[in-house]
Structures are given as structure tokens and as C-alpha cells.
């Protein structure tokens, strides 16, 4: 698996470049022409019994719990792709102030939210 996964996965609109998503308040080299509002991608996941058992065994050895790391990364990728899709549906070509949030809804069930401000930008 690449250190820089391909976020343009199923659900993301073709042509929405993940490089046009930033946690900053502006996108260097571009000016905001239109603010299109808050966009989000929400994913709710639960651990499966096999991953839970495997992760429990990994905790005995210590270190990175790869099964849970992979689950978390996949969940964030999916939420990110959904956020980009939401922005593209609004006519955006960039997202500024992007953030993640996560909440445990119940034992073993977690919500991951990717959100930001959808904007239409033009090169300066």
C-alpha cells in the first residue's frame, strides 16, 4: 500500500484533484471566487470479529496494531472521497480548511467525519 493512497476512489467525482484539498485557510497560487459552503463525508464502521481477535493478539506483542491501522486508514479514505464528491456536486474545484473528526457511537462502532469548506478557485 502506498504512503500516499489514491483518494480518487469510488464515490469521488472524476477530475476533483485531491491536491486541491488543504487544511489551510487558502490555497497558495489561487484565489477564492465563490464560497460554496461546508461539505462533509461521513462513514460509520464497526470492527468485525476477526479483526478484533487479530488486533487483540497483536496487542500482546506490542507495537503498531496493523489490522486496526488499516481499518482506520480505509475509513478516512472513504470519508475523504465522500467529502470530495459532495464538494464536486456543489460545483467546487477545491476544499479549504479540511478537517477530520471521529466519535465512538457505541462499543466497537465509530463515526469518521471529513469536512471542509467547498470553494471555487481560479489560478492567480
Instruction: Residue 114: name the closest of 72, 84, 92, 73 by CA.
Output: 84
- Please state which of the ranges 7-11, 19-23, 64-68, 111-115 shows the lowest mean pLDDT: 7-11
Mean pLDDT of 21-37: 96
Over residues 86-106, the pLDDT tens digits come to 999 999 999 999 999 999 888
How far apart, in whole angstroms, are the C-alpha atoms of residue 67 and residue 48? 11
Residues 6+ apart with CB under 8 A from 49: none
State the Cα torsion 76-81-84-89 to the nearest 10°.
Answer: -140
How far apart, in whole angstroms, are the C-alpha atoms of residue 104 and residue 111? 6
Over residues 34-85, the pLDDT tens digits come to 999 999 999 998 765 555 555 555 566 666 667 777 888 999 999 999 999 9
Amino acid at each position: 500500500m502506498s504512503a500516499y493512497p489514491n483518494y480518487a476512489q469510488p464515490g469521488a467525482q472524476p477530475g476533483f484533484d485531491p491536491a486541491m484539498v488543504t487544511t489551510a485557510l487558502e490555497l497558495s497560487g489561487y484565489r477564492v471566487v465563490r464560497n460554496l459552503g461546508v461539505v462533509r463525508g461521513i462513514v460509520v464502521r464497526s470492527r468485525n470479529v476477526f479483526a478484533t481477535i487479530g488486533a487483540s493478539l497483536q496487542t500482546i506483542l506490542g507495537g503498531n496494531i496493523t489490522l486496526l491501522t488499516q481499518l482506520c486508514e480505509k475509513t478516512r479514505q472513504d470519508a475523504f472521497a465522500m467529502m470530495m464528491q459532495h464538494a464536486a456536486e456543489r460545483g467546487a474545484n477545491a476544499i479549504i480548511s479540511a478537517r477530520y473528526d471521529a466519535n465512538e457511537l457505541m462499543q466497537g462502532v465509530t463515526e469518521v467525519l471529513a469536512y471542509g469548506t467547498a470553494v471555487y478557485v481560479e489560478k492567480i
